[in-house]
Amino acid sequence: MDRNLTLLPPECATVPATLADYIYPAIQKQYITIATLEADVLADDEREAVHQMRVSLRRLRSQIQAFGSSIEIPKVMGDKQIGHIARGLGKVRDLDVLQDTFKNYRASLPESEQTHLEKVAATLIKRRRKEILKVKLMFNERDFQYFKLGLNNWLNHPQYTPIANVEIGSILPELLTSVTSNLFLNSGWWIEPDANAAIGSESAVSQLLMIHGDTMHGLRKQVKATRYLLEMFPERYPAKYRDYLKDFKHIHQIFGNIQDNVVLDKFVRKVLGKRSPTKLPTFYERIARSNYLNWQDWQPIQQRYQQPQIKQDLQLLLIQNMI
C-alpha cells in the first residue's frame, strides 16, 4: 500500500501536529489489522482472530464517527458498512464467549443440571459453525471487497476537510470534551436498585438488570467508544489522563461480564424453554451471584462519577492540561 502522507510521531515532528496527523495512522492501523487477520478468521484455527478483527472494526467505526467532520470517506467504508461486518463477526465472537462462560458455570454444577445443559452445549457448537460459515461467505461478497478497496484507496489518497489541518492543540480539547460531555449525560450513571428492595441483595440487582439492562448496555457501548478515542492521545496529557482511561476500561469489563451473563441466560431459555430456572436452579443462582458481584464492583465507580467534581476535573484536564 502506498502512502502519500508521511507522518512522524508527534514527539518527533518538526512542525505542530495536526488532527490529520492522528487520524491517518489510527485508520491505517485498523486497516492493517483487518487485512492481516482475514486469513486467520477464514482458517478458524484461532478464535482470537475473530475477536481482534471485531475490535479493530469497532475502533475504526468509533474513529470515523468521532472524526466525521474532519474526513471525507467513500460510502463503501462508512458507518453502515463497518457495522454490518462487525455484526457478522460479533455473532461468532458472542458464541465463543458464551461457550467459555457456559463452560465455567457448567464445570461445578450438580449432575442433574449437567444433563439438561448437554443440549445447550450441542446447540452452541452447531450455532457457531453456522455463524462462522456466514462470515466466510461474507468475506467473499462484493460489499466486503469494496469495503477493503475503499479503505485502501482512502489511505493512498486521504481526503480531509479544512478542520483536519488545524493544529491539534487548537481542536483536541473541544473534540474530547464534547465526547465526554455526552458520555456523562447517559442516564446509566444514575440507575440504582429500588430503595425498597433488600439492600445489597442479589434479587435487587437481578430486578434492576431486567428493567434497565438495555440502558446499562448502552452506557457500556458509549464508555467503550469514548475509551477508544481517548486511547489515541495519551501522550498529549499528564498521567492523570491514564487514570480515567483505566476507569473506562474497568467499566467496560464490568458490564461486559454482566452482558455475557444476560446473553447466556437468553440463549439457555431459548434452547430449554421458559422453565429453565426451575430446571437449573444452581446455574441461575450463580449467574445472579456473578451479576451481583460485578454490580458491587461497579458501585464505587458509579458513586465517584456521580460527583460533579470528578467530571469537572476530567473536563478541565482535557482543556487546560494538554501537553
CA–CA dist 148, 132 (Å, integer): 20
Across the chain, what does the average pLDDT equal?
91
Report, as an integer, the average pLDDT of 120-138. 96
pLDDT at position 280, please? 95
Q: Report, at the CATH architecture level, how domain 1-166 is classified.
A: Alpha solenoid (1.40)
Q: Give the DSSP H/E element, type plus range, for residue 239.
A: helix 239-272
pLDDT at position 2, please? 40
pLDDT at position 11, please? 47
Q: What percent of the chain has pLDDT over 70?
A: 94
Cell readout for 34 is: 483487518
The angle that helices 79-106 and 48-66 make with each other, rounded to 10 degrees, is 140
Q: How confident is the model at residue 196 (pLDDT cuts 50, 70, 90)?
A: low
Within 10 angstroms of residue 268's Cβ, the number of other Cβ atoms is 26
**Within the chain, what is the greatest distance between any pair of CA atoms?**
69
CA–CA dist 290, 206 (Å, integer): 10
pLDDT, tens digit, for every residue of 296-310? 999 999 999 999 999
- Go through the chain and tell me how many residues it has: 323
The Cβ-side half-sphere exposure at 90, using a 13 Å CA radius, reads 12
Residue 3 has pLDDT above 50, yes or no: no
Smallest CA-to-CA distance from 124 within 112, 136, 106, 139 is with 106
Report, as an integer, the average pLDDT of 265-270. 94
pLDDT, tens digit, for every residue of 225-264? 999 999 999 999 999 999 999 999 999 999 999 999 999 9
Q: φ and ψ at 79, to 5 degrees?
A: -60, -40
Cell readout for 322 is: 494538554
pLDDT at position 198, please? 54
Q: In this structure, which amino acid lies at residue 133?
A: L
Residue 140 has pLDDT above 80, yes or no: yes
Cell readout for 165 is: 489541518
pLDDT at position 14, please? 56
| First-last CA distance in the chain | 33
What are 237-242's contacts with CB under 8 Å, separation 24+?
Answer: 237/317, 237/318, 237/321, 237/322, 237/323, 238/317, 238/321, 238/323, 240/317, 240/321, 241/317, 241/321
Q: How confident is the model at residue 200 (pLDDT cuts 50, 70, 90)?
A: low
pLDDT at position 8, please? 42
Residue 224 has pLDDT above 80, yes or no: yes
pLDDT, tens digit, for every residue of 68-125? 899 999 988 988 999 999 999 999 999 999 999 999 999 889 999 999 999 999 999 9
CA–CA dist 143, 227 (Å, integer): 29
The angle that helices 281-305 and 239-272 make with each other, rounded to 10 degrees, is 150
- List CB contacts of 51: < 8 A, sequence separation 6 or more: 93, 96
Residue 7 has pLDDT above 90, yes or no: no
Within 10 angstroms of residue 187's Cβ, the number of other Cβ atoms is 11
Please answer whether residues 209 and 258 qualify as being in contact, where contact means their C-beta atoms are separated by less than 8 angstroms.
yes
Residue 265 has pLDDT above 90, yes or no: yes
Smallest CA-to-CA distance from 85 within 124, 44, 142, 10 is with 142
